Amino acid sequence: MHRSRRSAAAGSSPRDEGADLPVNTSAAYGELLGFPDIGRCRVMGVLNVTPDSFSDGGQWFETDKAIAHGVDLFRNGADIVDVGGESTRPGALRVDPAEELRRVLPVVRELAAVGPVSIDTMRADVAEAAVDAGAVLVNDVSGGLADPRMIPFIAANRLPYVVMHWRGPSVDMQSRAHYDDIVADVRREISARIDAVLAAGGDFRQIIVDPGIGFAKRPDTDHNWALLKHLDQLGSLGRPVLVGASRKAFLGRLLAGPDGTPRPPMLRDHASSAITALVAAAGAWAVRVHAVEADADAVRVAARWRAQP
């Protein structure tokens, strides 16, 4: 069995250990294996080694450019760089596994010598290869639903693992955006994924939860806003919360011009940083962002705000 050199001690924590803790602090969201508390929200820099991501597809597709950009992300304030080789934008099709590996492995290998790297993948084989190359966290937008081998791999190796809310492949995910109560529904569905990790022998302390902003959440409704406003409801699951709202379509709609045309992704960074400050102040463990320098400032402002009696 593969054993990650980054793996932590075994042992599970019952879900209800954090139930009576205040839900507006990162510490209350529970201990995370391999990531000590740093007193503020972490900044996860986005590195898309893809030709078709919604925001910067193609910009960092060449290996050398991707590595250089990753180094810049660390230099500008990223605590983690999240490397992905498959676009998950609405409507995107799957990439061949061999191509995904070709895109990400050399980038992960080089950047792991600079700072903490996470691998953004739905495939267990890609996750395993990336961990062998130095990745210390697996960010799976499907929460283990896309590949039945993912959760057993994650559980066996006690790897920090992002469980995102996901209802199906990107190609048709927006057709699944139907909820009775989006906050309660998303919380319940993420809770089921936590249970799946624990049932596979995983450790409660290895799990990070993500509301899946923009994934089966329509930008012309209050879906995304409700989840962000009520982040404490996810925090009540007792796990750290990751938020990935940077440059997403709901912000483009909010900032639409007089003719109703949504603001383009590259012009949404100021609004993205505003979201960063708000969720960091609300106790998010990390934000996944593109404009790292501005967002690193935003989390520090939020940390000072939270520290004020």
Q: DSSP string spanning 11-29?
A: ----GGGGTTS-SSSTGGG
Question: Pick the residue with more confidence: 58 or 127?
Answer: 127
Task: Kindly state the average pLDDT of the residues 149-172.
Answer: 91
The arrangement of secondary structure in 44-304, i.e. its CATH architecture, is: Alpha-Beta Barrel (3.20)
* Per-domain residue ranges of the chain: 44-304
How does strand 161-164 pair with strand 137-140?
Answer: parallel
- In this structure, what token pair is assigned to residue 255? 């900032």
Residues with a known catalytic role:
248, 288
* pTM, entire model: 0.88
Q: Mean pLDDT across the chain, nearest whole number?
A: 88
The CA distance from 81 to 288, in Å, is 9
Q: Of the ranges 80-89, 127-136, 219-228, which one carries the lowest mean pLDDT score?
A: 80-89
Q: Quick check: 126 and 104 in contact, CB under 8 A?
A: yes
Q: How confident is the model at residue 173 (pLDDT cuts 50, 70, 90)?
A: confident
Look at residue 101 and tell me whether its pLDDT is greater than 90: yes
- CA distances 9 to 159, 209, 246, 294, Å, are 10, 20, 33, 36
Determine contact, residues 92/52, Cβ cutoff 8 Å: yes
The Cα–Cα gap between 77 and 90 comes to 29
pLDDT at 135: 98
pLDDT at 27: 47
Residue range 148-167: mean pLDDT, rounded: 96
Confidence check: pLDDT of 6 > 50 = no
